[in-house]
Amino acid sequence: MIEARRIKLDGEVLTTPATVLTSLKGVTVDDKPVAKPERTRLFVFHKPAGLITAERDPTGRPTIYTALRNALPEGTPRVMPVGRLDFNTEGLLLLTNDGGLKRALELPSSGIERTYRARTFGEISQAQLEELIHGIEIEGVRYGKIDANMERRTGRNQWIELTLTEGKNREVRRVLEHFGLEVSRLLRTAYGPYQLGDLPRGQAYELKKHEIEPFLSQLKKQGLL
């Protein structure tokens, strides 16, 4: 943008990024004053299955933003999803207007736990699930430790709860399918300290300041923000 001569300071075109600013006063882009950054905001959204986590889809499938038009209050700033949920995966999706926070929450090094519930069909034991605490390698991909527990079973159908920190692409499905299980439903119930609770599908709410600040402080202590 500086090379394109779009940025000015006190009416003078900036020619180098090596410019120290003590404030945003007098800074313009395309002759429009740069506003102060908005305060960090964080939303909890219950993503339904059948939506992709993207702004648009080349094939025309509906996206989360289709549902967010009605779920977020009027005047909400542009928000970005923290990580992704697959097309057929539902549950808790965090949304924020802060790019730095988004990156911090997505980093595997943050160690932030994500919890899922999976409805599966097939044969598996609690002992097999407990082995996942040591991690597992599948087709050359190494997955870190997963705390997995059988919730309930009816015949060959069972609900399994899994807590992990990496969140690699399709990790939960790949691990369960590795055991020969068919996953008929996958729901994320928690991301860090935030819970899905009984939030209806397609609905969202904004976390209050006192619900965000302790978490932000923790991330800052870890050097992630």
Whether 120 and 183 share a structural domain: yes
Whether 98 and 126 share a structural domain: no
Burial-class residue 105 by CB neighbours within 10 Å (0-12, 13-18, 19+).
buried
CATH of the domain at 151: 3.30.2350.10
Task: Name the residue range of residue 97's domain.
Answer: 42-107+206-221
Whether 98 and 131 share a structural domain: no
Whether 132 and 158 share a structural domain: yes
Please give the chain's pLDDT, 225 residues, in tens. Answer: 999 999 999 999 999 999 988 888 899 999 999 887 788 999 999 999 999 999 888 898 999 999 999 899 888 989 999 999 999 999 999 999 999 999 999 988 888 999 999 999 999 999 999 999 999 999 999 999 999 999 988 989 999 999 999 878 899 999 999 999 999 999 999 999 999 999 999 999 999 999 999 999 999 998 888
Q: Let me know if residue 129 belongs to a domain.
A: yes
H helix intervals, 48-200: 64-71, 99-106, 126-130, 171-178
Active site residue 86: yes
- The β-bridge relationship of strands 182-191 and 114-121 is antiparallel
What residue type is assigned to position 218 of the chain?
Answer: Q
Give pTM, 2 decimals. 0.83
Catalytic hit among 30, 57, 86, 98: 86
Contacts of 34 (CB under 8 A, 6+ apart): 24, 27, 28
Continuous segment of H or E residues that includes residue 93: strand 90-96
Structural domain count, the chain: 3
Whether 170 and 213 share a structural domain: no
